[in-house]
Amino acid sequence: MQDISLEVLEKYYGYKSFRKGQEDIIKNILSKEDILAIMPTGGGKSLCYQIPALILDGLTIVISPLISLMKDQVDNIRSMGIEAAYINSSLSTSEFNEAINNLKNNKYKIVYVAPERLESYDFIMEMSRCSISQIAIDEAHCVSQWGHDFRVSYRKIKSFIDILKERPIITAFTATATEEVKRDIISLLGLKNPKVYVTGFDRENLFINIVKGSNKKDYVIKYIEANKDASGIVYAATRKEVDKLYEVLCEKKYKVSKYHAGLRDDIRKENQEDFINDKVNIMIATNAFGMGIDKPNIRYVIHFNMPQNIESYYQEIGRAGRDGGKSECILLFSPGDIQTQKFLIESSSENLNRKQSQYLKLKQMTDFIYNNDCYRKYILNYFGESNLENCNNCSNCLNEGEVVDKTIDAQKVLSCVYRMKKNFGISMIVDVLRGSKNIRLVNLGFNNLSTYGIMKDYKGEELKSFINTLIAHGYLDYIEGTYPVVSLNKKSIEIIKGEHKVLFKENNINTIENVDNKLLELLKDLRREIALEERVPPYIIFGDVTLKEMSSKMPLIKENMRLISGVGEIKFNKYGERFINLIKSYIEENNIIVNHIIEDNEENSYIDIKVDEELLELLKNRREEISRKEGMYPPKVISLRSLKEISGRYPKNLDELMDITLVGKKKVEIIGKDIIIIVNDYINNKDIKVNFIKKEKRKIALDGDVRTDEEITIDELKKERFQKNYQIN
């Protein structure tokens, strides 16, 4: 079974090995055991039930609450030549009837259904007549009222399973589950002695950054300007915030769309599809957006407001970097966010126990933000992973930005609060410090305070942000209520007395690493063209990571194209030649030298080098000069085989030269700089562009000859002896 699953993985999905945990999960499903798998968003959950679905006899039903995910998954499955369908409220009557007829005729291997569909007696009866091998339950945490996304319809799943004539394998998948939620999933879905897999919640490619007290709108604008070609989501807590941000970014001519429950269904659907199909690259949304969005090239997720709980936060940032590429997750925090979330909890129609649970989760989210230790470690501990080290990939660990001494400015603010005697809100404090002449301020006599107008050089929003930062760092207390106010605490007094310094980091705006090149853009254009032809999102054709690897390795034959991650046999047969032809044209037009990889089997992999005789002659001449000058035997300076490899690989710097066979530090010291000068002069004069491929574990084949120098010498001696014995000239 293991070999079969690997064959299916490579043939249909284009990968040569499984990700962490996938192989064991698939093995146990194929052994007909129930399983509960807790895997991070982007960790490859769908593959764990899709591969068994292709191998097992009968139908796999996938229960999912996510209409958008169903369509994306089915489009992807169909693109691999597998019959699949989805049944949900988006289907017309004729589409629904067609799907049911195809089910009766055993046409499908995989069918996605919404949990609400299990409340229909007619539908249940139709499904009960099918030969069902597996029921896979996605977003399984929805069955628990202690989860962050409880859905009553999930409680119907067990009843549906119980009425089937033969009980299929039951598999449950989720990205976020506490111990309490895990117990609920097993019990309420009726899993029988399930194997429980927790492959880890960590997403190492995500940089977690929490920014406290900044001007949020300015931050978002600056960040998007620095990363305007990247795809990203900006989450806001309310529709009003979404609309405001959308308008601001539209005015600046960014390719942006929006999504919230206040929009018509058809507009939401159109906006979502524009984002998925790369027509726009920025989505401003409430948390109504994103569940089931399988777009792999989202490079950043910004939270304009603090989410209500850690589960929601981690699921939402998990939408970034699903292709494994480096991505950034930024939470812009101000104390007012807590009040917004409390208002949303109170406005909900949840019962009292549910609300108490939500308040507890909100407190845990707040503790996470104020936490001074590693952010990732805090999250992983929350989900039950302990004994962890700092990640060195979050803003607390790296503490990025320039340290600025803000003690004097802090003393001005705190002294003002002290002199105002009673507790007031931030706006009043800002007005006093900036010297406002509003009537209430004057009536209270605050215009006579020594701190009146001492920070008039600050803009209003800037000063408000600074006070929020003081609160976020615990230098001022924020007292909740109908009208929240600010008050001094022990740390405030220490700062006023000069016993404690206030050192803040000024946040840097990061630019996401961009490895795009002209070829990559051409490959994306071709992908977009094919996607339009097939009416599917571009990433269904090939993901960004796959295209980046193509643009780097420039495969020109099927064997090399099939080595690209994500290019399976099915997809190569459908699209491979079109991408190869584009790469060939690009190489010819730009005079690029490409060294190709030859793979005999898993143990033997080679880079095929075409020796450049003209460059080789130049290198040999320089070797002769150095050997005479240093009194060394020429091969001791550098071997002929190394020179041949250099002539075909064209190393442009010492780092690339060190990748040449038999070239170590000593040879680099003797002849390294001379070689680099000769190579660079040669490729510049010939206008050659080089695609240098690192050897890694591969061997070198010179003009197709994979033999080593020793093997060549032995073969020549054998040949000479043979000719001599048989008198062959």
Is 90 exceeded by the pLDDT of residue 329?
Answer: yes
pLDDT value of residue 601 = 47
Task: Please name the residue ranges forming H helices in 544-631.
Answer: 544-553, 558-561, 569-571, 577-590, 613-630
CB 500 within 8 A of CB 240: no
Work out the average pLDDT over 20-25.
Answer: 88
The β-bridge partners of 173 are 37
Work out the average pLDDT over 320-333.
Answer: 89
Give the whole-angstrom CA distance, residue 101 versus residue 265.
28
Who's near 19: CB < 8 A, 6+ residues apart?
A: 43, 44
Residue 602 confidence class, pLDDT cut points 50, 70, 90: very low
pLDDT value of residue 232 = 94
Is 80 exceeded by the pLDDT of residue 265?
Answer: yes
Is 90 exceeded by the pLDDT of residue 539?
Answer: no
Work out the average pLDDT over 479-503.
Answer: 85
Please report the DSSP string for 458-488 in residue order.
S-HHHHHHHHHHHHHTTSSEEE-SSS-EEE-
Residue 693 vs residue 222, higher pLDDT: 222
Residue 33 confidence class, pLDDT cut points 50, 70, 90: very high
Give the whole-angstrom CA distance, residue 64 versus residue 375.
30
pLDDT tens for each residue of 421-430: 888 988 899 9
CB 344 within 8 A of CB 223: no
Work out the average pLDDT over 628-656.
Answer: 85
Residue 599 confidence class, pLDDT cut points 50, 70, 90: low
Please report the DSSP string for 183-233 in residue order.
HHHHHHTT--S-EEEE--S--TTEEEEEEES--HHHHHHHHHHHTTTSEEE
Work out the average pLDDT over 33-47.
Answer: 84
Pairing relation of β-strands 477-479 and 605-609?
A: unpaired
Q: Which helix (H) or strand (E) segment is 345 a member of?
A: helix 336-347
Give the whole-angstrom CA distance, residue 577 versus residue 588.
16
pLDDT tens for each residue of 162-217: 888 889 999 999 877 777 888 888 999 999 999 988 877 788 889 999 987 678 88
Work out the average pLDDT over 525-537.
Answer: 87
Residue 729 confidence class, pLDDT cut points 50, 70, 90: very low
Give the whole-angstrom CA distance, residue 181 versus residue 183.
5
Of the listed ranges 299-303, 423-427, 504-508, 646-650, the one predicted with least confidence = 504-508
How far apart, in Å, are the Cα atoms of 206 and each of 117, 379, 382, 391?
36, 13, 18, 11
Residue 63 vs residue 687, higher pLDDT: 63
pLDDT-above-70 percentage for the chain: 89
pLDDT value of residue 715 = 53
Name the DSSP class of 443: H
Residue 578 confidence class, pLDDT cut points 50, 70, 90: very high
Name the DSSP class of 372: -
pLDDT value of residue 373 = 73
Give the whole-angstrom CA distance, residue 428 versus residue 645.
73
Residue 213 vs residue 656, higher pLDDT: 656
Work out the average pLDDT over 664-674.
Answer: 84
The β-bridge partners of 593 are 690
Residue 369 vs residue 468, higher pLDDT: 369
Residue 362 vs residue 448, higher pLDDT: 448
pLDDT value of residue 119 = 81
Is 90 exceeded by the pLDDT of residue 372?
Answer: no
Residue 515 confidence class, pLDDT cut points 50, 70, 90: very low
How far apart, in Å, are the Cα atoms of 678 and each of 618, 633, 666, 674?
8, 21, 19, 6
Instruction: Using CA atoms of 563, 569, 573, 575 in order, give the dihedral in degrees to the nearest 10.
Output: -50
The full set of domains in the chain, from first to last, is 2-198 (3.40.50.300), 206-398 (3.40.50.300), 402-506 (1.10.10.10), 518-590 (1.10.150.80), 611-687 (1.10.150.80)
The mean pLDDT of the chain is 83
pLDDT tens for each residue of 389-399: 888 888 888 76
pLDDT value of residue 728 = 46
pLDDT value of residue 176 = 74
Closest CA to 278 of 296, 262, 301: 296
Give the whole-angstrom CA distance, residue 76 versus residue 54.
14
Residue 450 confidence class, pLDDT cut points 50, 70, 90: very high
pLDDT value of residue 726 = 46
657 CB-contact burial (10 Å; exposed 0-12 / middle 13-18 / buried 19+): buried
pLDDT value of residue 706 = 59
Residue 710 confidence class, pLDDT cut points 50, 70, 90: low
